[in-house]
A and B are shown apart, each in its own frame.
Chain A
Amino acid sequence: MPHDLLMSRRAFLIGCSVAASPLLTPVTFAAAPGDNRLVVIILRGAMDGLDVVRPTADPAYAALRPTLGAAMGPALNDFFTLHPAAAGLMPLWQAKELAFAHAVATPYRSGRSHFVGQDALENGTGTEDGGQTPSHDGWLNRALFLMPGAGANTAVSVGQQRLLVLDGAHETDHWFPVAESPLSSQGQDLLSVVNAADPLFAEPFSEALHLARAMDGEKAPKGKLAYGQLGTYVAERLMGAARIASFSFGGWDTHQQQVKTMEAQLTSLSDALLAMKAGLGRVWGTTLVVAMTEFGRTARENGTGGTDHGTGGLAVLAGGALKGGQIFGKWPGLSDGQLLSERDLMPTGDVRAYPAWALRAMFGVEAAGLQSTVFPNLDLGPDPGLLL
Chain B
Amino acid sequence: MEAPSLIEEIRFGYGPRMGSPPSPGGLEPERLLAQLTAADPTAAAWNRPSMADRLTLLVQVRQDKMAGIDVSPKSNQSVAMDDLKRIEQDDAPTFFARPAVASLGFVERLVNLWANRITVSNVSQGVGHHIQTFRDEAIRLNIAGRYADMIKATLWHPAMQIYLTQTESVGPNSPVGKRKGRGLNENLAREFLELHSMGKGYTQTDVTELAKLLAGMVTDETGPHVAKARAEPGRKHILGVTYGEGKDQIDKLVEDVAHRPETAQAVAFFLARHFIADVPPPDLVQALTATYLAQDTQLVPLYRTLLQHPAAADPNRQKVRTPQEFAVASLRLTGLTGMEKGMLGFNKKSMMVPTYLTNMGQQPLKPLRPDGWPEVAAGWMTPPMMASRIDWATDLARATGDRADPVALVDFALGDMATPLLRRAVAGAEQRWEGLAVLIASPDFSRR
Q: Tell me whether A161 and B368 are in contact (CB under 8 A).
A: yes
A contact residues around B431 at 8 Å (CB)? 184, 187
| Among B125, B384, B419, residue most surrounded by chain A Cβ atoms (within 10 Å) | B384
Complex contact A200–B320 (CB within 8 A): yes
A204 adjacent to B382 (CB under 8 Å): yes
**B368 near A164: Cβ-Cβ < 8 Å:** yes
Asked if A56 CB lies within 8 Å of chain B CBs, one says no
Contact present for B123 and A115 (CB under 8 Å): yes
Alpha-carbon gap, A167 to B390, bound state (A): 24
A79 at interface (Cβ–Cβ under 8 A)? no
Contact of B384 among A4, A164, A176, A193 (CB under 8 A): A176
The A-contacting residues of B in range 228-248, CB under 8 angstroms, are none
Stretch from B32-40, B129-137, B182-190 that touches the partner: B182-190
A-binding segment of B75-83, B87-95, B356-364: B356-364
C-beta contact mask, A1-36 vs B, less than 8 Å → 1, else 0? 110110000000000001110000000000000000
Q: Is B294 an interface residue (CB 8 A)?
A: no
B residues less than 8 Å from A175 (CB atoms): 382-384
Given known pairs A136-B370, A187-B438, the reply for A194 and B186 (CB within 8 Å) is no
- The verdict on A174 contacting B421 (CB below 8 Å), with A136-B370, A181-B394 known, is no
A1 touches B383 (CB 8 A): no
Would A174 and B385 count as touching, CB distance under 8 A? yes
Q: Is the CB of B185 within 8 A of A178?
A: no
Interface string of B365-386 (1 = CB under 8 A from A): 0001111000001000111111
- Judging by beta carbons under 8 Å apart, are A200 and B443 in contact? yes
Is A190 a contact of B387 with CB atoms below 8 Å?
Answer: no
The answer to whether A136 touches B371 (Cβ under 8 A) is yes
Residue numbers in B under 8 Å from A116 (CB-CB)? 124
Q: Which residues of B contact A113 (CB under 8 A)?
A: 124-125
Q: Chain A, 111-153, contact with B by CB distance < 8 Å: what is the 0/1 string?
A: 0010110010000000001010010100000000000000000
What's the least CB distance linking A121 to chain B, in Å? Answer: 14
Residues in A with CB closer than 8 Å to B371 are 136
Nearest opposing residue in chain A for B445, CB measure: A194
The reply to whether A184 and B381 form a contact with Cβ atoms under 8 Å apart is no
Residues in A whose Cβ lies below 8 Å from that of B446? 201
- Assembled-state Cα–Cα distance A27/B277 (Å): 30
Nearest B residue to A135 via CB reads B369
Q: Which of B185, B361, B383, B385 touches A131 (beta carbons < 8 Å)?
A: B185
Q: Out of B370, B381, B395, B429, which one reaches A186, CB within 8 Å?
A: B429
B-side contacts of A195, CB under 8 Å? 441-443
Q: Does A198 interact with chain B (Cβ within 8 Å)?
A: yes
Question: Is there contact, CB below 8 Å, between B430 and A184?
Answer: yes
Q: Which B residues, 372 to 422, have Cβ-Cβ distances below 8 Å to chain A?
A: 377, 381-388, 390-391, 394-395, 398, 419, 421-422
Chain B residues with CB below 8 A from A134, complex form: 190, 194
Q: Does B168 contact A (CB under 8 A)?
A: yes
Flag if A190 contacts B363 (CB, 8 Å): no
| Residues of chain B contacted by A136 (CB below 8 angstroms) | 369-371
Residues from chain B with Cβ under 8 Å of A190 in the complex: 425-426, 428-429, 434, 438
Q: From A42-50, A206-214, A284-292, A364-372, give the one contacting chain B.
A: A206-214
Cα A161 to Cα B355 with chains together (Å): 12
Q: A175 vs B361: C-alpha distance in the bound complex, in angstroms?
A: 12
Chain B residues closer than 8 Å to A191, beta-carbon distance: 390, 425, 437-438, 441-442
Residues of B within 8 A of A129 (CB): 165, 168, 185
A194 and B438 form a contact (CB under 8 A):
yes
* A176–B428 alpha-carbon span in the complex (Å): 30
Closest Cβ of chain A: how far from B446's Cβ, in Å? Answer: 7
Does A162 contact B368, Cβ atoms closer than 8 Å? yes
Q: Does A205 contact B (CB under 8 A)?
A: yes
Question: B262 near A: Cβ within 8 Å?
Answer: no
Distance A183 CA – B428 CA, assembled complex (angstroms): 14
Please, how many angstroms separate the alpha-carbon atoms of A381 and B418 in the complex?
62
A205–B385 CA distance with the chains assembled, in angstroms? 10
Check if A193 sits within 8 Å of B430, measured CB to CB: no
Which residues on the B side are within 8 Å of A115 (C-beta)? 123-125
* Contact of B424 with A by CB under 8 A: yes
Q: Are B429 and A201 interface neighbours, CB within 8 A?
A: no
The answer to whether residues A205 and B425 also contact, given A161-B363, A182-B398 and a CB cut-off of 8 A, is no
Contact among B165, B190, B383, B422 for A194, CB-based, below 8 A: B422
Residues of B with C-beta under 8 A to A159: 384
B443 near A198 with CB under 8 A, answer yes
| Contact A131 B187, CB 8 Å, known A161-B358, A187-B434, A191-B438 | yes
CB interface residues, A 336-388, toward B, < 8 Å: none
B383 near A173 with CB under 8 A, answer yes
Interchain CB contact under 8 A, B124 and A174: no
Residue contact A186 to B430, C-beta cutoff 8 Å: yes
Whole-angstrom CA separation of A2 from B165 in the bound complex = 59
Expressed in whole angstroms, the Cα–Cα distance for A181 and B441 within the complex equals: 13
CB pair B425 A18 closer than 8 Å:
no
Does B255 reach chain A (CB closer than 8 Å)? Answer: no
Q: Which of A27-83 contact B (CB under 8 A)?
A: none
User: Given the complex, which residues of A lie within 8 Å of B358, measured CB to CB?
Assistant: 160-161
CB closest chain-A residue, reference B363: A161
Q: How many Å lie between the Cα of A115 and that of B122 in the bound state? A: 10
Among B123, B358, B422, B441, the most chain A Cβ lie within 10 Å of the Cβ of B441
7 closest pairs, A vs B, by CB?
A198-B443, A208-B383, A174-B382, A187-B434, A201-B443, A190-B425, A194-B442
| 22 interchain pairs, CB-CB under 8 A | A2-B428, A18-B391, A19-B387, A110-B168, A113-B124, A131-B185, A161-B368, A162-B368, A164-B369, A173-B383, A182-B398, A183-B390, A183-B437, A184-B430, A186-B430, A190-B426, A191-B441, A193-B425, A194-B422, A194-B438, A194-B444, A197-B443
Identify the A interface with B (CB < 8 A).
1-2, 4-5, 18-20, 110, 113, 115-116, 119, 129, 131, 134, 136, 156-162, 164, 167, 173-176, 178, 181-184, 186-187, 190-191, 193-195, 197-198, 200-201, 204-205, 207-208, 211-212
Q: List 20 additional A-B contacts (Cβ < 8 Å) besides A131-B165, A161-B358, A187-B429.
A: A20-B387, A20-B391, A131-B187, A134-B190, A156-B383, A158-B384, A159-B384, A174-B385, A175-B384, A181-B391, A182-B394, A182-B395, A183-B434, A186-B429, A190-B428, A191-B437, A194-B419, A194-B443, A208-B386, A212-B387
